[in-house]
Amino acid sequence: MDIDLNQIEEIINQIGQAQTLEEVDALYLKLMGKSGYIATATRSLSVISKDQVKEIAPKLTQLRQLTETATKKTRLEIKEKEYEKLDLEQLDLTTFEKIKQRKGHLHPVTQFEIEIAELFSKLGFQQFDAPHIDTDENNFELLNIPDNHPARDLWDTLYIDQSKLKVSPGKLLLRTHTSNSQVHIMKGLKPPFRMMSIGRCFRYENLDARHEHTFDQFELIYIDKGVNMGNLQYLSEYFLKAVFGSDIKVRLKPKYYPFVEPGAGVDGQCIFCHGAGCKVCSNSGWLELAGAGMIHPNVLRNGGIDPKKYSGIAWGFGPERMVMLKYGIEDIRLLKSGNLKFLERY
């Protein structure tokens, strides 16, 4: 019988040039499959002469090894070429590291409040938390604003519907200012003391670029012997210069609040128009940042403090208004808009 070793070598060559794994597999089977050339030739050894076997058997063994080696090598080359193609398609398996990861951070108003609380704690002011839902008594009456007092119009108040309450804690409201903390603090402490209180306030407001219905206030209370308007002026400037830099222009103007006498408004010059007047500052050139004044003797008395021995000063700042000024934000409503694109800037 004729054993065509040349044909086997030819097929081994074809394996070396194959372009796909399927091609390699088909050629491999053509040689090594049950009825493939090598298997058939091996079976034929039994029907040929001993001399022929001696000559052909080692060649067949060699061709079998060559087939295995060529198949392995070509398969590997084809796989490498496929990986290269994947590379060209830019399938970068490390890309997930490059994706910009969105990190959370504190709201700019919260960041600012932490900053100012630290500033005043260095000046000996301690923090106090007053209730958001409080009585009309603490929010108004004990602050020298009796029922039906015309000054109540200064605060558009949200009262709580108490018709379903089983207890009667007095008339309840959402505090309109952090000044509700004043009498809580005075009743709980003996003077002298310096306290601060930061938190949410609520008003039934007409909303505009400077007014929110839900906003924060930062209350400062300083009670000691001989405290006066000079201390108020000094600390107001100290505070605003620490926040906005020494170039900020600060002014105190007379302002009426029933719980201070004299009362003042603390203004910072508008950074949007540098005092020329614009829509953010209602063309006044100034942004009102706080109400302040010498604590009224009636309020000290309501808090159990003798106004003949002690005097006090107090401020109620608007942190959102200060953040607007600090970052050049033109509309207060952006701060609680939940707009992440806006918030990510700070």
Q: Which residues bind ligand FA5 (CB under 6 A)?
A: 177, 179, 203, 205, 211-212, 215, 217, 257, 260, 288-293, 314-316, 318, 320-321, 332
Token pair of 16, please? 């070396």
Q: How far is the CB of 218 from ligand FA5 (least distance, A)?
A: 9
Q: How far is the CB of 134 from ligand FA5 (least distance, A)?
A: 13
Which CB, 30 or 321, lies closer to ligand FA5? 321
| Catalytic annotation present for 155 | yes
Token pair of 258, please? 């029933």
Q: Which residue, 317, 320, 344, is CA-closest to 330?
A: 320
Q: Do you know the residue count of the chain?
A: 346
| Catalytic annotation present for 286 | no
Q: How far is the CB of 217 from ligand FA5 (least distance, A)?
A: 5
Catalytic residue among 260, 290, 292, 299: 260
* Sign of the torsion formed by the C-alpha atoms of 194, 200, 204 and 206: positive
| Start-end of H helices in the chain | 5-17, 21-32, 37-44, 50-88, 95-98, 108-122, 136-139, 181-188, 229-244, 297-302, 319-327, 340-343
| Catalytic annotation present for 177 | yes
| Catalytic annotation present for 217 | yes
| Catalytic annotation present for 152 | no
Catalytic residue among 280, 299, 314, 323: 314
Which CB, 38 or 145, lies closer to ligand FA5? 145
Q: How far is the CB of 154 from ligand FA5 (least distance, A)?
A: 6
Catalytic residue among 109, 155, 266, 321: 155
Q: How far is the CB of 232 from ligand FA5 (least distance, A)?
A: 10
Catalytic residue among 175, 184, 194, 203: 203
Q: How far is CA 199 from the centre of its chain?
A: 19
Which CB, 196 or 289, lies closer to ligand FA5? 289
Q: Which residue, 221, 267, 231, is CA-closest to 248?
A: 267
Token pair of 250, please? 């600060």
Q: How far is the CB of 265 from ligand FA5 (least distance, A)?
A: 7
Q: Is 191 helix (H, G, I), strand (E, B) or coil?
A: coil
Catalytic residue among 24, 130, 177, 315: 177
| Catalytic annotation present for 345 | no
198, 117 Cβ separation under 8 angstroms: yes
Beta bridge partners of 250: 268
Which CB, 321 or 326, lies closer to ligand FA5? 321
Catalytic residue among 24, 217, 299, 321: 217
Which CB, 185 or 289, lies closer to ligand FA5? 289
CA 220 to CA 238: how far, in whole Å? Answer: 14
CA 213 to CA 230: how far, in whole Å? Answer: 33
Those residues with Cβ within 8 angstroms of residue 224's Cβ, 6 or more apart along the chain or in another chain: 191, 192, 193, 310, 311, 312
Instruction: Examine residue 262 and say whether the peptide bond preceding it is cis (omega within 30 degrees of 0).
Output: yes
Which CB, 134 or 212, lies closer to ligand FA5? 212
Backbone angles phi, psi at 214, to 5 degrees: -125, 115
Residue nearest to ligand FA5 (CB): 318
Q: How far is the CB of 340 from ligand FA5 (least distance, A)?
A: 22
Which CB, 23 or 137, lies closer to ligand FA5? 137
CA 313 to each of CA 194, 260, 266, 316: distance values in angstroms, whole numbers, following the listed order: 10, 8, 13, 11
Active site residues per annotation: 155, 177, 203, 217, 260, 314
